[in-house]
Amino acid sequence: MSTTLSTGLTTPGLSSSASQAASNFAALTASNGTSTTSSASNAAAQLTGNENTFLTMLMTQLKNQDPTSPLDTSQFTTELVQFSGVEQQISTNSSLTQLIQLTQSGQLLQGSSVVGHTLAVANSDMPVQNGSGQIQFSVPSNQNVVVSVSNSAGTLLSQSNVAATSGVNSWSWNAKSSAGVSQPDGDYKVTVNAVDSSGTASAVPFDVIGQATGVTVSGNTLNLQMGKVTTAFTNVQSVLN
C-alpha cells in the first residue's frame, strides 16, 4: 500500500514498518530460539527507528491531507497497535533472556557442588582417571557378559568376559590393552553385551563411574566433566560418595 500526499509526495506503506520490525526481531532471535541481550538491543533500536519514521510520515500526511477527504484513522491506529505489540514482544524476550541467564548461573553454582565427588553417569564414554576406568551394570539373572573397550579412533583395546550375577555388577579396567600396553588417561568407548547359551549377544545398559572435575554451560545445556569425558548433567544417575 502507498499513500499519496496532497503535496505530490508518495510515502511507503504505513503498515510495513511494524511488520518489518517484527521480521527483523524474529531473524535476530531465530538462531537459538531465545534472544541475547545484544539481539534485543538491536531489535529495540530498529523498532525505534521505524517508529520515528512512521510518526514523521504520519504527521506529514495529517498536515497535508485533503480536508474534503481526510486520512482514514483506522490505518495509522492499526500501525500504532502493531508497534506496541512488537515493543512488548521485544521487552518480553529481553526479560526471558535475563531469566534464562540467571537460571543457568544458578544451575552452574548448584552443579559445581558435585565437583570432586564420584558419580555414576549413563554414558557410553568411560573416563579413565589415574590409570583406571570403571562401570556398573545390572542383569536380571546370572549370565555371561562381554565388556569391550575401544579408543577414540575405534580401535578395540580390551575385551573381557565377565560372569555377571543377578543384580548390580561392577567392572573396572586397568587401562591396559589386551597386549599389556598401558593407555593414557582419557575418553574411551565402552560396550556391554550379554551372551546367551546360543551365542546371541544383547546390549546391557550401564553407567560409567568417574570423579567430577568440572561443570560447564553450552547453550542451554549444563554439562558435567569427568576428566576428558563431557556429558549432559541430566545423565547423572547417582552420587556415590
Do 205 and 176 have their domain in common?
Answer: yes
Q: For residue 130, which of 56, 185, 187 has the smallest C-alpha distance?
A: 185
Do 104 and 135 have their domain in common?
Answer: no
pLDDT tens sequence across 91-141:
777 777 666 666 656 666 677 788 999 999 999 999 999 999 999 999 999
Domain containing 142 — which CATH number? Answer: 2.60.40.4070
Q: For residue 172, what pLDDT is reported?
A: 96
Do 100 and 210 have their domain in common?
Answer: no
Residue at a domain's end among 112, 141, 167: 112
Do 234 and 123 have their domain in common?
Answer: yes
The residue type at 73: T
Q: Count how many domains the chain has.
A: 2
Q: For residue 90, what pLDDT is reported?
A: 72
Do 103 and 144 have their domain in common?
Answer: no
pLDDT tens sequence across 136-175:
999 999 999 999 999 999 999 999 999 999 999 999 999 9
Distance CA(72)–CA(56), nearest Å, equals 17
Do 225 and 177 have their domain in common?
Answer: yes
**b/e for 46-83, b at 16 or more Cβ within 10 A?**
bbeebbeebeebbeebeeeeeeeeebeeebbeebbebb
Do 183 and 70 have their domain in common?
Answer: no
- Identify which has the larger pLDDT, 102 or 73: 73
User: For the range 162-165, what are the long-range contacts, defined as Cβ-Cβ under 8 Å and sequence gap of 24 or more?
Assistant: 164/137, 164/139, 164/194, 165/139
Residue at a domain's end among 86, 112, 138: 112
Query: Quick check: 125 and 232 in contact, CB under 8 A?
Result: no
Query: Residue 185 half-sphere exposure, CB side, CA atoms within 13 Å?
Result: 10
DSSP state of 166: S
Do 70 and 87 have their domain in common?
Answer: yes
Domain range for 182: 115-239
- Identify which has the larger pLDDT, 197 or 160: 160
Query: Quick check: 5 and 61 in contact, CB under 8 A?
Result: yes
Interval 47-62 mean pLDDT: 70
Do 20 and 88 have their domain in common?
Answer: yes
Q: For residue 109, what pLDDT is reported?
A: 67
Question: E strand or H helix at 77, and its extent?
Answer: helix 73-111
Distance CA(3)–CA(76), nearest Å, equals 11
Query: Quick check: 148 and 158 in contact, CB under 8 A?
Result: yes
Do 81 and 134 have their domain in common?
Answer: no
Do 224 and 119 have their domain in common?
Answer: yes
Residue at a domain's end among 112, 134, 151: 112
pLDDT tens sequence across 3-40:
433 333 333 444 444 455 445 544 544 444 444 456 55
Q: Cell numbers for 112, please give them.
A: 559445581
Do 151 and 187 have their domain in common?
Answer: yes
